[in-house]
Amino acid sequence: NAGVMQNPRHLVRRRGQEARLRCSPMKGHSHVYWYRQLPEEGLKFMVYLQKENIIDESGMPKERFSAEFPKEGPSILRIQQVVRGDSAAYFCASSPSMANSGNTIYFGEGSWLTVV
Amino acid sequence: DQQVKQNSPSLSVQEGRISILNCDYTNSMFDYFLWYKKYPAEGPTFLISISSIKDKNEDGRFTVFLNKSAKHLSLHIVPSQPGDSAVYFCAASEEGAQKLVFGQGTRLTINP
Protein backbone atom coordinates (compact mmCIF):
# COMPACT_ATOMS: atom_id res chain seq x y z
CA ASN A 1 0.00 0.00 0.00
CA ALA A 2 2.53 2.54 -1.21
CA GLY A 3 1.96 6.15 -0.40
CA VAL A 4 2.90 9.18 -2.45
CA MET A 5 6.45 8.61 -3.67
CA GLN A 6 8.80 11.48 -4.29
CA ASN A 7 12.34 11.48 -5.60
CA PRO A 8 14.95 12.55 -5.16
CA ARG A 9 14.60 13.18 -1.44
CA HIS A 10 17.52 15.56 -1.48
CA LEU A 11 18.91 17.46 -4.42
CA VAL A 12 21.78 19.93 -4.58
CA ARG A 13 22.09 22.20 -7.58
CA ARG A 14 24.40 25.07 -8.47
CA ARG A 15 22.85 28.38 -9.43
CA GLY A 16 21.76 28.29 -13.05
CA GLN A 17 21.26 24.52 -13.24
CA GLU A 18 17.95 22.74 -13.66
CA ALA A 19 16.13 20.79 -10.97
CA ARG A 20 13.63 18.03 -11.71
CA LEU A 21 11.48 16.63 -8.95
CA ARG A 22 9.33 13.55 -9.50
CA CYS A 23 6.16 12.40 -7.84
CA SER A 24 4.17 9.19 -8.18
CA PRO A 25 0.71 9.51 -6.61
CA MET A 26 -0.91 6.90 -4.43
CA LYS A 27 -2.43 3.98 -6.31
CA GLY A 28 -5.85 4.93 -7.56
CA HIS A 29 -5.22 8.67 -7.23
CA SER A 30 -5.46 10.75 -10.37
CA HIS A 31 -5.09 14.22 -8.85
CA VAL A 32 -1.66 15.60 -8.01
CA TYR A 33 -0.69 18.76 -6.16
CA TRP A 34 2.66 20.43 -5.57
CA TYR A 35 3.36 22.56 -2.52
CA ARG A 36 6.49 24.42 -1.47
CA GLN A 37 7.67 25.09 2.05
CA LEU A 38 10.26 27.78 2.49
CA PRO A 39 12.28 27.79 5.74
CA GLU A 40 10.20 28.75 8.78
CA GLU A 41 7.03 29.09 6.70
CA GLY A 42 3.91 27.06 6.04
CA LEU A 43 3.22 25.13 2.88
CA LYS A 44 2.23 27.18 -0.16
CA PHE A 45 0.17 25.77 -3.01
CA MET A 46 1.91 25.78 -6.38
CA VAL A 47 -0.04 23.71 -8.90
CA TYR A 48 -2.82 21.16 -9.28
CA LEU A 49 -2.77 18.63 -12.10
CA GLN A 50 -4.78 15.77 -13.42
CA LYS A 51 -3.47 13.37 -16.03
CA GLU A 52 -2.17 15.41 -18.97
CA ASN A 53 -3.85 18.58 -17.71
CA ILE A 54 -2.83 21.51 -15.56
CA ILE A 55 -5.97 22.54 -13.72
CA ASP A 56 -4.73 25.32 -11.44
CA GLU A 57 -1.26 26.82 -11.54
CA SER A 58 -2.10 30.00 -9.67
CA GLY A 59 0.69 29.39 -7.15
CA MET A 60 3.45 28.78 -9.64
CA PRO A 61 6.05 31.48 -10.20
CA LYS A 62 5.56 32.88 -13.69
CA GLU A 63 9.07 32.12 -14.86
CA ARG A 64 11.42 29.14 -14.64
CA PHE A 65 8.86 26.78 -13.05
CA SER A 66 6.78 24.22 -14.90
CA ALA A 67 4.87 21.08 -14.04
CA GLU A 68 3.46 18.14 -15.92
CA PHE A 69 1.59 14.94 -15.21
CA PRO A 70 1.83 12.79 -18.33
CA LYS A 71 -0.48 9.96 -19.24
CA GLU A 72 2.24 7.51 -18.28
CA GLY A 73 4.79 8.07 -15.54
CA PRO A 74 5.19 10.39 -12.60
CA SER A 75 4.38 14.04 -12.25
CA ILE A 76 7.43 16.27 -12.76
CA LEU A 77 8.11 19.68 -11.23
CA ARG A 78 10.84 21.38 -13.22
CA ILE A 79 12.78 24.43 -12.11
CA GLN A 80 15.07 25.96 -14.69
CA GLN A 81 18.04 28.20 -13.91
CA VAL A 82 17.71 27.72 -10.18
CA VAL A 83 18.53 30.55 -7.79
CA ARG A 84 19.27 30.45 -4.07
CA GLY A 85 15.71 31.51 -3.26
CA ASP A 86 14.43 28.25 -4.78
CA SER A 87 15.99 26.33 -1.88
CA ALA A 88 13.01 24.78 -0.14
CA ALA A 89 11.14 21.59 0.57
CA TYR A 90 8.83 20.62 -2.27
CA PHE A 91 5.93 18.39 -1.34
CA CYS A 92 3.75 16.46 -3.69
CA ALA A 93 0.28 15.30 -2.65
CA SER A 94 -2.43 13.24 -4.28
CA SER A 95 -6.12 12.56 -3.91
CA PRO A 96 -8.54 10.14 -5.54
CA SER A 97 -10.81 12.91 -6.72
CA MET A 98 -11.29 16.60 -6.21
CA ALA A 99 -9.73 17.82 -2.99
CA ASN A 100 -12.64 19.65 -1.49
CA SER A 101 -15.80 18.92 0.39
CA GLY A 102 -14.30 16.16 2.43
CA ASN A 103 -11.66 14.72 0.14
CA THR A 104 -8.36 14.67 1.93
CA ILE A 105 -5.06 14.97 0.13
CA TYR A 106 -2.12 12.84 1.17
CA PHE A 107 1.45 14.09 1.07
CA GLY A 108 4.70 12.50 0.07
CA GLU A 109 7.89 12.70 2.10
CA GLY A 110 9.12 15.74 0.22
CA SER A 111 12.10 16.68 -1.92
CA TRP A 112 14.61 19.05 -0.34
CA LEU A 113 16.27 21.29 -2.90
CA THR A 114 19.43 23.15 -1.94
CA VAL A 115 20.88 25.67 -4.37
CA VAL A 116 24.52 26.51 -3.80
CA ASP B 1 -2.34 38.19 2.85
CA GLN B 2 -2.28 35.35 5.36
CA GLN B 3 -5.76 33.81 5.15
CA VAL B 4 -5.00 31.10 7.70
CA LYS B 5 -3.09 32.09 10.81
CA GLN B 6 -1.57 30.11 13.59
CA ASN B 7 -0.47 32.79 16.00
CA SER B 8 1.48 30.57 18.36
CA PRO B 9 4.77 29.45 16.79
CA SER B 10 5.35 27.03 19.65
CA LEU B 11 3.59 25.31 22.53
CA SER B 12 4.95 23.22 25.37
CA VAL B 13 2.70 20.80 27.28
CA GLN B 14 3.24 18.26 30.02
CA GLU B 15 2.75 14.63 29.06
CA GLY B 16 -0.75 13.46 29.95
CA ARG B 17 -2.25 16.95 29.86
CA ILE B 18 -4.35 18.50 27.12
CA SER B 19 -2.74 20.23 24.15
CA ILE B 20 -4.80 22.93 22.47
CA LEU B 21 -3.65 24.32 19.14
CA ASN B 22 -5.44 27.27 17.65
CA CYS B 23 -6.05 28.53 14.15
CA ASP B 24 -7.84 31.60 12.80
CA TYR B 25 -8.96 32.30 9.27
CA THR B 26 -10.19 35.33 7.40
CA ASN B 27 -11.82 33.87 4.30
CA SER B 28 -15.53 33.26 4.91
CA MET B 29 -15.63 31.06 1.79
CA PHE B 30 -13.61 28.33 3.47
CA ASP B 31 -15.84 25.34 4.10
CA TYR B 32 -13.44 22.50 4.87
CA PHE B 33 -10.67 22.47 7.45
CA LEU B 34 -7.90 20.03 8.17
CA TRP B 35 -5.06 19.50 10.62
CA TYR B 36 -1.76 17.97 9.55
CA LYS B 37 1.13 16.84 11.70
CA LYS B 38 4.69 17.08 10.46
CA TYR B 39 7.93 15.61 11.76
CA PRO B 40 11.28 17.05 10.62
CA ALA B 41 12.37 15.91 7.16
CA GLU B 42 9.04 14.18 6.53
CA GLY B 43 5.87 15.08 4.70
CA PRO B 44 2.72 16.31 6.49
CA THR B 45 0.49 13.54 7.79
CA PHE B 46 -3.27 14.02 7.80
CA LEU B 47 -4.75 14.01 11.31
CA ILE B 48 -8.35 15.10 11.30
CA SER B 49 -10.74 17.29 9.35
CA ILE B 50 -14.05 19.08 9.76
CA SER B 51 -16.65 20.38 7.38
CA SER B 52 -18.26 23.77 7.95
CA ILE B 53 -21.62 22.11 8.58
CA LYS B 54 -20.25 20.70 11.82
CA ASP B 55 -18.78 22.31 14.90
CA LYS B 56 -16.96 19.31 16.30
CA ASN B 57 -15.27 16.18 15.04
CA GLU B 58 -13.58 13.62 17.22
CA ASP B 59 -11.14 10.83 16.40
CA GLY B 60 -9.56 9.06 19.32
CA ARG B 61 -7.36 11.48 21.24
CA PHE B 62 -7.91 14.23 18.66
CA THR B 63 -10.88 16.59 18.54
CA VAL B 64 -11.30 19.54 16.23
CA PHE B 65 -13.69 22.36 17.11
CA LEU B 66 -14.95 24.90 14.59
CA ASN B 67 -16.44 28.27 15.51
CA LYS B 68 -17.63 29.74 12.22
CA SER B 69 -18.83 33.03 13.69
CA ALA B 70 -15.39 33.65 15.16
CA LYS B 71 -13.60 32.12 12.16
CA HIS B 72 -11.63 30.02 14.57
CA LEU B 73 -10.78 26.37 14.91
CA SER B 74 -8.81 24.45 17.44
CA LEU B 75 -7.28 21.01 17.79
CA HIS B 76 -7.41 19.31 21.17
CA ILE B 77 -5.11 16.40 21.94
CA VAL B 78 -5.81 14.55 25.15
CA PRO B 79 -3.94 12.98 26.74
CA SER B 80 -0.79 14.34 25.14
CA GLN B 81 1.99 11.86 24.48
CA PRO B 82 5.70 12.33 23.70
CA GLY B 83 5.12 11.09 20.15
CA ASP B 84 2.80 14.04 19.60
CA SER B 85 5.81 16.37 19.55
CA ALA B 86 5.80 17.76 16.02
CA VAL B 87 4.76 20.79 13.98
CA TYR B 88 1.01 21.04 13.47
CA PHE B 89 -0.45 22.79 10.46
CA CYS B 90 -3.99 24.01 10.08
CA ALA B 91 -5.31 24.12 6.49
CA ALA B 92 -8.51 25.23 4.79
CA SER B 93 -10.15 25.06 1.41
CA GLU B 94 -13.06 26.70 -0.38
CA GLU B 95 -15.88 24.71 -1.90
CA GLY B 96 -14.96 23.92 -5.48
CA ALA B 97 -11.33 24.92 -5.00
CA GLN B 98 -8.58 22.38 -5.28
CA LYS B 99 -5.96 23.98 -3.13
CA LEU B 100 -5.39 23.99 0.58
CA VAL B 101 -4.30 27.18 2.30
CA PHE B 102 -1.98 26.45 5.20
CA GLY B 103 -1.14 28.28 8.38
CA GLN B 104 2.46 28.82 9.41
CA GLY B 105 2.44 25.92 11.84
CA THR B 106 2.77 25.48 15.60
CA ARG B 107 5.62 23.46 17.06
CA LEU B 108 4.23 21.29 19.87
CA THR B 109 6.62 19.87 22.43
CA ILE B 110 5.38 17.32 24.93
CA ASN B 111 7.52 17.21 28.04
CA PRO B 112 7.82 13.98 30.05
Nearest to B79 by CA among B22, B18, B20: B18
Cα A82 to Cα A18, A21, A39, B4, B15, distances in angstroms:
6, 13, 17, 29, 44
Residue of B nearest to A50 (CA): B98
Tens of pLDDT along A14-23? 999 999 999 9
Contact: A42, B89; criterion CB under 8 Å: yes
pLDDT at B99 over 80: yes
Contact A22, A9 (CB under 8 A): no
pLDDT at A51: 87
Nearest to B39 by CA among B47, B50, B49: B47
Report DSSP letters for B33-59, one per residue. Answer: EEEEEE-TTS--EEEEEEETT-SEEEE
pLDDT at A102: 58
Tens of pLDDT along B31-64? 999 999 999 989 999 999 999 999 999 999 999 9
pLDDT at A42: 87
Contact B3, B94 (CB under 8 A): no
Length of chain B: 112
pLDDT at A98: 61
Cα(A109)–Cα(A112) distance, rounded to whole angstroms? 10
pLDDT at B95: 81
Instruction: Write out residues 70-89 of B within 8 Å (CB-CB) of A.
Output: 89
pLDDT at A96: 82
Mutate to test the interface with B, among A30, A45, A48, A60 (most CBs of B within 10 A): A45
pLDDT at A30: 87
Cα(B38)–Cα(B87) distance, rounded to whole angstroms? 5
Tens of pLDDT along A48-107? 999 889 999 999 999 999 999 998 899 999 999 999 999 999 999 998 876 554 567 899
Residue B103 half-sphere exposure, CB side, CA atoms within 13 Å?
31
pLDDT at A10: 97
**Please, which residues bridge with residue B109 across strands?**
B12
Cα(B79)–Cα(B91) distance, rounded to whole angstroms? 23
Whether A66 contacts chain B with CB within 8 A: no
